[in-house]
Each structure stands twice: as C-alpha cells, then as structure tokens.
C-alpha cells in the first residue's frame, strides 16, 4: 500500500504539473492570436544594371525597375500569414530601349519584341498608308527599307492612296467595325499612316487611332518630354486628352519661295515685298507679282495673325471669323497681295507652275513643293524665307506637324502587330539617319532638335539645308494648327472665303480693272464673314 500510495502521489504530481504547463501554453497562444500574424518584411529590389541585349547603335534594351506611372497600375500584396520568407526579385515593370541615342523606358513585352524583331525571330506584316505626292514617295520607300533591314522580323507593305480623302475613308471604315471583325480587313486599311496632326482630336474621340501609351507604356513619353527630343510645339501637337497619338517627324508651314534668278535682294519687310510684286506684275506679258494657292483660312492665316486675329481658338473654343481684326486682315490681303496674283486659277498645280516656269518671282507654299522647285528651277536657284513683318507685326501661318499615326487596325491580328506598328513609328521619328534622308530627299523640315542643330551647323554640306532652315525658322514663328474636333466645322468657313474671291475674279473678268475688282471684293468682306460666323458658330461644341 505504501508503494501504491507513493506511486499515486507521484502520478498526481505529474498530472498537476502537466495541467499547469498546458494552462500556460493556452494563455500564450491566446495572446499571440490577439496580436495577429507577424507582417512579412518589405523587400526593395535593387535596379538591375546588366544589359540583356546585343549592343546596337539603333535599338538596345536594358531592364529597369522604375515604377510605372500608368493610371491603371496597383501595388501587388504577397500574402504570408504564418512565415517570413525571402521572395525572388520582382519582374521589372519597364525595360529601356535605345533608338539613335534616345533611351526610353518601355514595357518588357515591347522590349522583348524589339530584340526578337531585330534578330529575325518573329515574322509579322504591317501596312503603312500615305497619300504623298509622287515625288515624295521614293525617299519614303528608302526609309521603310532601312527599317526592314534593321528589323528583318517585320515586313512593311505600303498602301499608296490617291488622296487624303481616300486614306481617311479607309481609316474611318476600319475603325467603325466592331473589334472582332477587323482582323478580316488586315491589308485593306493601314496600321500606321502619315498625315498632319490636325486629325488627332476627332479621330481619337471616335476611337479610330491608338495612343502610344496603350502599347509601350507611359514612361516612354515622359522620357521624350524630359530629354527635349522634339521642338516643344511638335510634341504637344500630337498630344490630346492626356495621351500621345503617334509622333511627329517633320514640321510644315507655308512661307515664301524666292526665285533667286529673278530676285537679287531678298525682301526683309512687307514694303520691300510689295515693291517686288509691283515690279513683276504685268498680266499682258503673263508675269505676276506673286503666286500661291488660296483655298481658304489655312492660306490666309498669316495675314489674320499679323492683325492679331484668329479663325478659331481651341483653348477658349471661340470663333474669331468675323472679328474686326480678321476683317481688316482680309481687306489688307485683297488690297496688297491678291491684286498682284493671276486669279485665273487659284488651285495648287496652276499656281506652282507660275513659279516653276519663272512667271512669278515669289511663291507662297510649304515644304511639299520643295521637290517641285528643285526639279523646275534647280536647288541653287531658289531659297525660302519667313513672311516679312508688316509694320513691325509678324505674320504667323498655321504650322502642321507630319505625324505617324497608329490606327486601330494595328490592334487586330495579335499583339505582335501592335508592337511592330509602334516600333515603326519610333524608328521613323527618332532615327537621325532616317530624318536626314527625308530632309535631303524631300526637303522635310525636321522637328527633332538634334537633326535641326546638325543642319544649322553643316549648312554647306547640302544646298537643300538653306531651304529647309528657312522653313524651320517659319515653323518657329508660327501658330500650331488647332486639332480638336471643332476644326471639322471651322473648315466650313472656306466656302465663304471662296465667295469673296469669286466676287473679285468675276468683277476683274467683267471690267478688266484691278481697282474695280479690289473695290468689289472689299465691299463684301464684312457680309460674307458675318454669314460664315452665323453658319459655323452654332456647330462649335464646348
């Protein structure tokens, strides 16, 4: 019994100790459960510095972990409720590529495509559309071939349209289709196309074009802005609603072509210009003081701005068609420019022939006519100057920027097609060799500052440089053409301008008197501009 009692006492003691230990553990577990799981330590991954691509002077890629600025991005939380472990370095959110010395942060998927396209490891076809003049096309074919040599994985087929209306119709027709039906239209509408920037507003609103940010990311555009790659007005011209719709590769504004075989002293003021027009104007000898297409408000904007007028202000949405300043400008043009012109035909082809055939010493036009002037007069026999001041006031034409658009067609047929379209846009707008070839071949005015600086410091390298730089100076003294959707109705003012011009030509034909024609046209300016305002103003959307 003594042994049994001792055994029982020992067993009871052990049981009591076990109960105490269990109680203590229970209390500890309770307090731990109330505090929650230990948070996983936040890890900051160092930015990788190793270049992952083969070095190339035109396109290289390097990974970076710079945070994306896309408004749709959100931080990712890695759950770890019970244990703390070391997570692998996160996948980079952007990767850099370099094109002609310009380094841009882009999405890893796009950077990977660039490398595979360069090595010929992809095979994708895209379509480039244009409505270029015949003399402009060979140089464009050359730069497209340069692109395909650099990126053999991308095949670019060219669609040449007869006019800008045909190209616009093709883009609109493709954009109007439901997305799932567009793939069947590949090859019948352009994936990338070129036109001035003034289509951006209404095409973006309608969903016909794609922003670069939606393909290569937002950081690339931030990099373009920070590095001062373009003339500031050029990059801002292709931005709309906070996004970038293509990139500019050339600027254009109308200026004065001067036949230096006929004019020895280049006019520096409008009074000197008017003296030249008076000297050469002799209709009986089929010579005229000045030539140039006069279709409407685009060609008359230099005179409107010289009198502090405007046709339409997109920032305020105001129509200035019948302001006193515009009326005064229109009357000045009729009295001091139109009277020295051959108004038999105010169309483009007829007016430029007057200049090319030596029948007019001065021609108002843009860079699109450089090739024509070269072929008719010879590159050493003409120059280009900005509009001279009128009593200290500078005439400022509208400036347009030749843009590389991406249409919604590029989004059909797989992601490689949209990447190929974006790569073509970047290459054609950032590659200095491409841009210089367009300068020398077509007389295009560069808006990439490195190319403009090269021209200015190598003026003797090519005679075309002096012509191009004359346009560059005019672009720098210009007003960017409005690009919002209201311009579609503002162009309706042109028909009222044509009515004023018709009064002039009809009176001249009936009377043979320039003074009578001027008087008759001046007499209807107020009436027709008031009518233009009344017709267009109600259509302006705020």
pLDDT single digits (tens) 311-332: 999 989 999 999 999 999 999 9
**Residue from 414, 114, 112, 71 nearest 219 by CA:** 71
Cα 197 to Cα 400: distance, rounded to the nearest angstrom: 6
Under the banding of pLDDT at 50, 70 and 90, the label for residue 41 is: very low
Are 436 and 529 found together in one domain? no
> For residue 29, what pLDDT is reported?
35
Task: Note whether residue 282 is domain-resident.
Answer: yes
239 and 353 inside one domain:
no
This prediction's pTM: 0.75
225 and 177 within one domain: yes
Q: CA end-to-end span of the chain, whole Å?
A: 107
- Over range 448-472, report the average pLDDT: 95
Q: Of the candidates 369, 371, 384, 363, which has an alpha carbon nearest to the alpha carbon of residue 469?
A: 384
Instruction: Count CA atoms within 13 Å of residue 114 on its CB side.
Output: 31
Is residue 26 in a domain? no
Full residue range of the structural domain in which residue 162 is found: 96-250+401-458
Give domain status of residue 157, yes or no.
Answer: yes
Backbone angles phi, psi at 65, to 5 degrees: -110, 25
Does one domain contain both 450 and 502? no
Please report whether residue 16 resides in a domain.
no
Residue 288 shares a structural domain with residue 305? no
For residues 326 and 184, state if they share a domain: no
Answer whether residue 74 is part of any domain.
no
- Average pLDDT of the segment spanning 250-271: 97
Confidence band for 9, pLDDT divided at 50, 70 and 90? very low
Whether residue 153 sits in one domain with residue 222: yes
Domain match, 160 and 306 both: no
Confidence at residue 129, expressed as pLDDT on a 0 to 100 scale: 98
Q: Please check the confidence at residue 43 and state whether its pLDDT lies above 80.
A: no
Same domain, 381 and 407: no
The answer as to whether 219 is a domain residue is yes
- Tell the burial category of 121 from Cβ atoms under 10 Å away from its Cβ (0-12, 13-18, 19+): exposed
Q: Total structural domains in the chain?
A: 3
Using alpha carbons, list the distances in angstroms from residue 194 to 200, 208, 311, 454, 536: 11, 14, 25, 25, 28
Are 173 and 208 within one domain? yes
Domain-embedded: residue 276 = yes
Cα–Cα separations (whole angstroms), residue 303 to 81, 218, 498: 73, 39, 16
Domain membership flag for residue 480: no
What span, in angstroms and rounded, lies between the C-alpha atoms of 424 and 458?
28
Residue 248: Cβ within 10 Å count: 24
Asked which of 355, 385, 415 is the last residue of a domain, the reply is: 385
Say yes or no: 501 and 379 in one domain. Answer: no
Q: Is the pLDDT of residue 48 over 70?
A: no
Average pLDDT over residues 497-515: 97
Look up the CATH number of the domain holding residue 374: 3.40.190.10
Among 176-185, 334-343, 367-376, 514-523, name the one with the lowest average pLDDT.
367-376
How high is the mean pLDDT of the chain? Answer: 86
| End residue of a domain, out of 442, 458, 474 | 458
Please check whether residues 335 and 355 belong to one and the same domain.
no
The pLDDT of 121-138, averaged and rounded, is: 95
- Among candidates 39, 189, 57, which has minimal Cα distance to 129? 189
């Amino acid at each position: 019994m003594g042994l049994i009692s001792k055994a029982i006492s020992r067993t009871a003691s052990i049981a009591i100790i076990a109960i105490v230990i269990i109680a203590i553990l229970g209390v500890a577990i309770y307090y731990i459960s109330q505090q929650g799981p230990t948070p996983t330590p936040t890890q900051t991954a160092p930015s990788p510095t190793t270049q992952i691509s083969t070095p190339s002077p035109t396109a290289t890629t390097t990974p970076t972990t710079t945070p994306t600025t896309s408004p749709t991005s959100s931080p990712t939380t890695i759950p770890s409720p019970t244990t703390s472990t070391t997570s692998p370095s996160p996948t980079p959110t952007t990767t850099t590529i370099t094109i002609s010395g310009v380094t841009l942060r882009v999405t890893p998927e796009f950077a990977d495509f660039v490398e595979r396209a360069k090595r010929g490891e992809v095979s994708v076809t895209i379509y480039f559309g244009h409505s270029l003049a015949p003399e402009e096309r060979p140089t464009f074919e050359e730069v497209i071939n340069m692109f395909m040599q650099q990126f053999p994985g991308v095949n670019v087929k060219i669609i040449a349209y007869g006019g800008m209306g045909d190209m616009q119709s093709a883009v609109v027709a493709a954009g109007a289709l439901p997305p799932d039906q567009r793939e069947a239209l590949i090859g019948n509408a352009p994936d990338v196309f070129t036109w001035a920037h003034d289509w951006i507003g209404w095409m973006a609103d309608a969903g016909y074009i794609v922003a670069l940010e939606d393909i290569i990311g937002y950081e690339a555009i931030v990099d373009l802005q920070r590095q001062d790659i373009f003339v500031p007005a050029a990059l801002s011209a292709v931005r709309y609603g906070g996004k970038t719709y293509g990139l500019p590769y050339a600027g254009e504004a109308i200026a004065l072509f001067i036949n230096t075989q006929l004019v020895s002293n280049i006019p520096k003021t409008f009074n000197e210009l008017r003296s030249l027009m008076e000297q050469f104007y002799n209709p009986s000898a089929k010579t005229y003081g000045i030539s140039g297409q006069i279709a409407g408000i685009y060609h008359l904007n230099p005179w409107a701005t010289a009198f502090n007028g405007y046709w339409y202000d997109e920032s305020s949405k105001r129509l200035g068609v019948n302001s006193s300043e515009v009326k005064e400008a229109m009357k000045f043009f009729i009295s001091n420019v139109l009277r020295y012109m051959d108004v038999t035909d105010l169309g483009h082809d007829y007016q430029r022939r007057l200049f090319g055939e030596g029948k007019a010493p001065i021609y108002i036009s843009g860079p699109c006519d450089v090739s024509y002037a070269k072929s008719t007069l010879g590159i050493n026999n003409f120059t280009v100057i900005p509009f001279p001041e009128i009593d200290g006031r500078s005439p400022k034409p509208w400036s347009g920027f030749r843009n590389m658009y991406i249409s919604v067609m590029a989004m059909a047929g797989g992601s490689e097609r949209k990447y190929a379209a974006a790569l073509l846009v970047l290459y054609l707008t950032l590659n200095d060799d491409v841009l210089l070839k367009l300068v020398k071949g077509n007389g295009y005015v560069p808006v990439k500052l490195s190319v403009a600086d090269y021209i200015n410091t190598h003026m003797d390298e090519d005679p075309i440089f002096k012509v191009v730089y004359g346009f560059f100076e005019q672009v720098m003294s210009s007003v960017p053409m409005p690009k919002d959707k209201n311009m579609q109705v503002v162009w309706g003012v042109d028909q009222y301008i044509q009515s004023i011009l018709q009064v002039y030509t009809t009176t001249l034909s009936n009377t043979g008197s320039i003074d009578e024609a001027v008087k008759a046209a001046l007499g209807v300016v107020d009436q027709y501009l008031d009518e233009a305002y009344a017709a267009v103003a109600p259509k302006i959307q705020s």
